[in-house]
Amino acid sequence: MLGIIRSELLKMRHTFSLTLVVFAPPVTLLLSYLLSGSYVQFSSYNWWYFMILPLVAALCSANIIVREKKIGMQNIVCLPVQFNKIWLGKTAAILILLFVSNILLWISTTAIGFMTKVTISPLDGLIGCMLLFLTYLWQIPFIMLLVNFIGYMPTVLVSVSANTILSAVGAEEEWFLFVPYAIPARIVCPFFKMHVNGIPIESGSPLLSREYVLPALIISLIFALVVFLCSLKLFSRGGWTYE
């Protein structure tokens, strides 16, 4: 299994996905600095979970599948390896990239905060980034599967649009637990202390309560497991189209 994961990561050398993972955090910082000046740290986290992270997750997950589809899935069907292991390896590879990107964002944002204004503590920033990573897990196999049915660009557009629109609309509503796309933006409120629109949360606001963090995380992880198992079953049974 480790060999498959390593193989998938090696395939990404010199690809746009790997470049995106590395450069997305500094681009986020640059954009935040241009728009917010000394409040770059606060703004960076907002841009990250609202716009940049959905784009990174969508492009990386879609690219790992569309690359195989361009050659008719020959790299997969010719291997003496079970399809479910290949699917697991691809999913794990994207998980690693998503984790690394979140860590890079936390490190760079924490460092620049000390040079400007520290509005979010390093611990809260780390917890927030890890919660974003965990609540995005379900999207990876879902995006990979969706590419097969509606294509590359439609998948990316649907994924990014769903994240931005549903998080903006549902993150601060009582029913956010029923909208997986809204959970990431809501679950980081107590740690980033900002509304989805980037405005600081008022003192005493229920959005600062951490009592819903664990239930929301559990629901998201269960949903991730269900999505992964369903996609794994469909892929291993040949529910896949070759071009």
The 10s digit of each residue's pLDDT in 58-107 is 999 998 887 766 545 555 545 555 666 778 888 899 999 999 999 999 99
Each residue's pLDDT tens digit, 159-196: 999 999 999 998 888 899 999 999 999 999 999 999 88
* Sign (positive or negative) of CA dihedral 139, 128, 45, 183: positive
**pTM > 0.85:** yes
Burial class, 89, CB count within 10 angstroms (exposed 0-12 / middle 13-18 / buried 19+) = buried
**194 by DSSP, 3-state: which?**
strand
Each residue's pLDDT tens digit, 48-58: 999 999 999 99
Taking the C-alpha atoms of residue 105 and residue 188, their distance in angstroms, rounded to an integer, is 15
Coarse DSSP helix, strand, coil percentages of the chain, rounded to the nearest 5 percent: 75, 0, 25
Q: Is the pLDDT of residue 32 over 70?
A: yes
Neighbouring residues of 187: CB distance < 8 A, sequence distance ≥ 6: 131, 132, 135, 212, 213, 216, 217, 220
